Amino acid sequence: MSIKIIPQKQLEQQATNSVIRQIPLIFYPSPTTTYAHRAKRLKSLATNNPFSDYLNFCATIAEQQANLAKQNPINVDLSEYLNNENPPLSLSNRPLSTSWQEYLNELLSSITATTEQITLVIEQLKKNSVQQLQDKALHLLNNEFAHVEGNEAIFIWAALSVYYSQLASQIKGKAIAESTDKSWLCPVCNNIPVASIIQLGSNNGLRYLHCSLCESEWYVPRIKCTCCDNMKDIQYFSLDNELSPTKTECCDACHSYLKIFDQDKDPHIEIIADDIASLILDIKTEEEGFAKSGINPFIFAQ
């Protein structure tokens, strides 16, 4: 099972599985709140963490993302993109405009560089033409990460995320989801997840994948590989103990893994922040022969 977004009117004309209908299949983002919460969590996790400097740097970017979403909101009608087979914000359905570059320019101007390396990256990006930036963005959105220098990718992706998360927030109330036989990529923008999270509250115990680009979350059953749908021989690794809120879910069939976070064990978890703070778990898991199937927008290969 995976998720497809359809117009409300179309849903009313269809009969859907009564069990699935009881489960919220998609949560669209609230960009300003999402980025502000992330920045706060990153700062909290930076205390006594071996990656403290980098966590604080990421917090600075997240704060600026929150400011950009608040000060420069997007208001668009996406109804025409909800009737196609492809996810509404996928490149095949809605080509990338250059509007996102306004966020990048403002982001680069607002960041105070704390190292010479960051200064050089910012200056280098500012020299790029509109077409050069567009080409790099398209490489990233097509998962062609090797074509973009890792430090540049962090800033480009941060701007793209502000753009796409606001577009995704516009879908809320205008479309819902149904089960289809599509892949486990984000049903909103067709991008890769960061990790999965087991939620609290009214959705206690339900597992959702979190999109690395548009910040949407979508339902996926537990104890199931989110990369190949395998339900056998799933292993879990953690650094502390079996009750740890942070684990890697590993599949013996495709040899992939993705982190799974449990809010019941730690209600303060923020999926992207906690993913960065637990990089040691990634290293240990990869030493066991598993490859990560998701990406973190603050960690791109150099």
User: Given this model, what pLDDT does residue 178 score?
Assistant: 64
What's the N-to-C CA distance of the chain in angstroms? 35
The tokens describing 282, both together, are: 């990634």
Model pTM?
Answer: 0.91
User: Given this model, what pLDDT does residue 18 score?
Assistant: 44
* Positions in the chain whose pLDDT score sits under 50: 15-20
User: Given this model, what pLDDT does residue 5 score?
Assistant: 72
Query: Could you give the CA distance from residue 32 to residue 64 in angstroms, rounded to a whole number?
Result: 10
Q: What are the backbone angles phi and psi of residue 133, rounded to the nearest 5°?
A: -65, -40
Render pLDDT for 143-156 as a digit per residue (tens, 0 to 9): 999 999 999 999 99
Strand partners, 181: none
